Amino acid sequence: MTIDISQFYQVFFDEAEELLAEMERLLLGVDVASPDPEDLNAIFRTAHSVKGGASTFGLTDMSEVTHVLESLLDRIRKGEMALTSNHVDAFLAAKDSLKMQLDGHRHGARVDQEAVANVRMVLHDLAEGLVPQAPVVAPSYLTLEPKTHHPLENAHRYKIELPPVEQRDISALVDELGLMGRVKVTPLDGGRSAIIITTHESLDDIIAICSFVLNPEDLKIFEAPALTPEQRAIEAAERKRIEDAQGWGFFDMDEEGGAAAQADDMSDDERGYGFFQPIEQIRAMAGITSEAPPAQAVQRPDPIEVSELAAEAASEKKSVKKDPGAESSSIRVSVEKVDQLINLIGELVITNAMLEQRSSILDPMGHERLLNSISQLGRNTRELQEAVMSIRMMPMDFVFSRFPRMVRDLASKLGKKVDFITNGAATELDKGLIERIVDPLTHLVRNSIDHGIEMPAARAAAGKSEAGRLFLSAGHQGGNIVIEVSDDGGGLNRERILAKASENGLAVSDGMTDEEVWQLIFAPGFSTAEQVTDVSGRGVGMDVVKRNIASMGGTVDIRSARGFGTTISISLPLTLAILDGMSIRSGDEIYILPLSFVVESLQPAEQDIRDIAGRGRVLKVRGEYLPLIPLYQMFDIAPRITDPSEGIVVILETEGKKAALFVDELVGQQQVVVKNLEANYRKVAGISGATILGDGGVALILDVAALVRSSRQLFEDVTVS
């Protein structure tokens, strides 16, 4: 009975991603000087689990990297080798390589094979006790230069006789085996070929690699005799000659065929696969005439069934030590199913609102039991709604866990010392917002390291510790979540910001408050960096942050003290699926205003309304002139009231700007279920979504940011006296 394991790929991808994230967390927290044995064992277990899963699903590229990684980790955890910073750097680079390979299998993303080979080579060198000649960094920043392979004095030599197959299959196999050691292709009679490989890897690993490219039944593998010292000396000299002639012996990897495509047009002697000559040539050059002892055939084990592999992987997973009672009590559910459930609960909430509205006209005495049942249904619906909404809530740790590695790499790149501290990682936020908050927080964290925290020498001169502190915290505040990015750096420079703003043509004055000055850094193209680097200086970060936060219904606030640091605070609603809204009427239409944008509502006096020729009208509110937006004009509605002094004006604020919205009346305040209008109809200017009211009617949710932005563009150059 065969098992179709393709159905389990998604489970493996999810688990592998979690294991790699756990590996990075453990590596960043390990004490290099005195590592905790349990931490080393935990890191080893993550690598072992990834290797087992990758082998089960035939992902040989991942299993090859994890095999070398696992071997090195095993030596360290057994005390055969001391842990160093070079090891940690190499392990982090290996984690990034595995993540890149995982994304390649999962999403079809491009995999930098040269970067993977370099990382694997460095791991092998470290396992042999050699110090890498270049620093190991993440593949995205990889700058390793090609270097010679490690010595293979005590390695095994195997001869793999291949059946008559196409050259591309041989090249593919050579590419795979080339990651395990030195390989060489030699011709045989009958149009066949043989591969000679010198490697420290086991025969089982070689057979596994060959089996994924060719039918294992057609392979013949023999153990070749070891080279004598004279042969090794000649081999080393010949290898050096080839390296000097061919530029390290590496092929340039291209998008289509990689090294194999270039190798097709080369003779055996010109191929850089193995950096050594066939054994016959080596014997001739060394003057050896005696025949080598007959090669002994190596028995190949029977092919392993997929079911056996799966059982082995499962048993390995069970052998991992766990705390008592730590078995997982969670299940994996696709996001689509959760969204469908939330949508159905939203429909139930709407239906319940309809029942409550239509039953409100009934006589309470005559329909007491019915009204009590509807009231009980309403309570149960609200509890069910809260429970289901909590399913979409995810801890902020999903975001916070991304930053320790980034902080470490960026601080090292800039020559700074940074202690990264997080708080409130268990605070929950809607999954949709979790995904959208990552980019803004990344900008803020990078900005704090680059601009906020000073160089160690400057901090020491200012009486501070050489290592700056960067705080990332999250917590609930009312119906919102507040995320703060704080540093104890030099703080914002008021004079420098004002000078740069004036240079950029922004309206500034010396009488501006600090809060108003700090808001200037969110202007598009604003940057106080003296030179453009790959970290910052182009002025495209902070304005993107504010725009993205505003699109999520949030606000950004800055607090800073010169010489003591800066705190940037982000306030977001807990979810975008349900919002508190104010129902307003204009003509015969009902609209919903998100309550988070509403400052106040009032009935203006006639003398506070001013006409601006060709621009419309403004409203004076406590000495401040605000653009007046007649809602009926925005959506071409037949109004009941055209005089603002007879209607209601709602003061709105977003992105630090205010406007006055003129409506006929306020209907009430209610919690509404947000429906995507664009997905069900099309995008409408000034509208962000829709909801269904208790009477079954549809109410549009206003896009406050778009309304305020468009209205202020008409009045920003107007001065009212």
pLDDT of 520-573, one tens digit each? 888 776 766 655 454 554 444 677 788 888 878 788 888 888 888 999 999 888
Regarding whether 424 and 546 lie in a shared domain, the answer is yes
CATH number of the structural domain spanning residue 13: 1.20.120.160
Regarding whether 296 and 191 lie in a shared domain, the answer is yes
Helices 85-107 and 113-127 meet at what angle, rounded to 10? 150
Q: What's the one-letter identity of residue 39?
A: D
Q: What's the one-letter identity of residue 674?
A: V
Regarding whether 368 and 278 lie in a shared domain, the answer is no
Please say if the pLDDT value at position 327 is more than 90: no
Asked whether residue 431 is domain-assigned, the answer is: yes
Q: How buried is 618 (Cβ within 10 angstroms: 0-12 exposed, 13-18 middle, 19+ buried)?
A: buried
Q: How far is CA 638 from CA 608, 616, 641, in A?
A: 25, 18, 9
Q: Report which DSSP code applies to 59.
A: -
> Nearest-CA neighbor of 620 among 632, 604, 642, 635?
604
CATH number of the structural domain spanning residue 418: 3.30.565.10
Task: Determine the 3-state secondary structure of 334 from DSSP.
Answer: coil
Please say if the pLDDT value at position 644 is more than 90: no
* Domain count for the chain: 5
Please say if the pLDDT value at position 274 is more than 50: no
Regarding whether 171 and 142 lie in a shared domain, the answer is no
Mean pLDDT of the chain: 75
Q: Do 175 and 210 form a contact (C-beta atoms < 8 A)?
A: no
The most confident of 126-140, 155-169, 193-207, 346-360, by mean pLDDT:
346-360
CATH number of the structural domain spanning residue 182: 3.30.70.1110
Q: Do 489 and 448 form a contact (C-beta atoms < 8 A)?
A: yes
- pLDDT value of residue 537: 46
Lowest average pLDDT, out of 303-317, 448-462, 489-503, goes to 303-317
What b/e readout covers 262-279, taking b as 16+ CB neighbours within 10 angstroms? bbeeeeeeebbbbbbbbb
Give the range of the structural domain holding residue 428, as residue numbers without chain letter: 410-573
- pLDDT value of residue 255: 36
Bridge partners of 572? 481
Regarding whether 251 and 164 lie in a shared domain, the answer is yes
How far is 144 from 135, CA to CA, in rounded Å? Answer: 7
Lowest average pLDDT, out of 10-14, 323-327, 388-392, goes to 323-327
Element (H, E) at 702: strand 698-702
Helix boundaries (H) for 467-595: 494-503, 514-518, 542-551
Domain boundary (313, 345, 363) is at 313
Element (H, E) at 133: none
Mean pLDDT of 222-236: 64
Regarding whether 132 and 162 lie in a shared domain, the answer is no
> Nearest-CA neighbor of 500 among 515, 522, 480, 484?
522
Q: Do 419 and 382 form a contact (C-beta atoms < 8 A)?
A: no
Asked whether residue 439 is domain-assigned, the answer is: yes
Regarding whether 482 and 542 lie in a shared domain, the answer is yes
Q: How buried is 45 (Cβ within 10 angstroms: 0-12 exposed, 13-18 middle, 19+ buried)?
A: buried
How far is 350 from 344, CA to CA, in rounded Å? Answer: 10
Lowest average pLDDT, out of 283-292, 403-412, 508-517, 604-613, goes to 283-292
Regarding whether 559 and 443 lie in a shared domain, the answer is yes
Q: Do 166 and 260 form a contact (C-beta atoms < 8 A)?
A: no
* Beta pairing, strands 698-702 & 687-692: antiparallel
Asked whether residue 403 is domain-assigned, the answer is: no
172 versus 374: which is more confidently predicted?
A: 374
Regarding whether 472 and 462 lie in a shared domain, the answer is yes
Helix boundaries (H) for 128-228: 167-177, 203-213
513 versus 8: which is more confidently predicted?
A: 513
> Nearest-CA neighbor of 591 among 665, 492, 684?
665
Asked whether residue 4 is domain-assigned, the answer is: yes
Regarding whether 290 and 168 lie in a shared domain, the answer is yes
1 versus 111: which is more confidently predicted?
A: 111
Regarding whether 424 and 369 lie in a shared domain, the answer is no
Record the pTM: 0.53
Asked whether residue 402 is domain-assigned, the answer is: no
Domain boundary (92, 112, 146) is at 146
Lowest average pLDDT, out of 296-305, 468-477, 493-502, 650-659, goes to 296-305
pLDDT 10s digits, 102-118: 888 888 878 888 888 88
Lowest average pLDDT, out of 71-85, 273-287, 330-344, goes to 273-287
Asked whether residue 442 is domain-assigned, the answer is: yes
591 versus 595: which is more confidently predicted?
A: 591
How far is 650 from 659, CA to CA, in rounded Å? Answer: 8
Asked whether residue 322 is domain-assigned, the answer is: no
- pLDDT value of residue 408: 87
Lowest average pLDDT, out of 206-220, 293-307, 667-681, goes to 293-307
CATH number of the structural domain spanning residue 697: 2.40.50.180
pLDDT 10s digits, 433-451: 887 888 888 888 888 898 8
> Nearest-CA neighbor of 114 among 86, 147, 71?
147
Task: Determine the 3-state secondary structure of 276 from DSSP.
Answer: coil
Q: What's the one-letter identity of residue 656?
A: G
Regarding whether 213 and 98 lie in a shared domain, the answer is no
Task: Determine the 3-state secondary structure of 226 from DSSP.
Answer: coil
pLDDT 10s digits, 300-317: 334 333 333 334 433 443
Domain boundary (523, 553, 573) is at 573
How far is 377 from 636, CA to CA, in rounded Å? Answer: 40
How far is 659 from 378, CA to CA, in rounded Å? Answer: 37
Task: Determine the 3-state secondary structure of 231 from DSSP.
Answer: helix
Asked whether residue 61 is domain-assigned, the answer is: yes
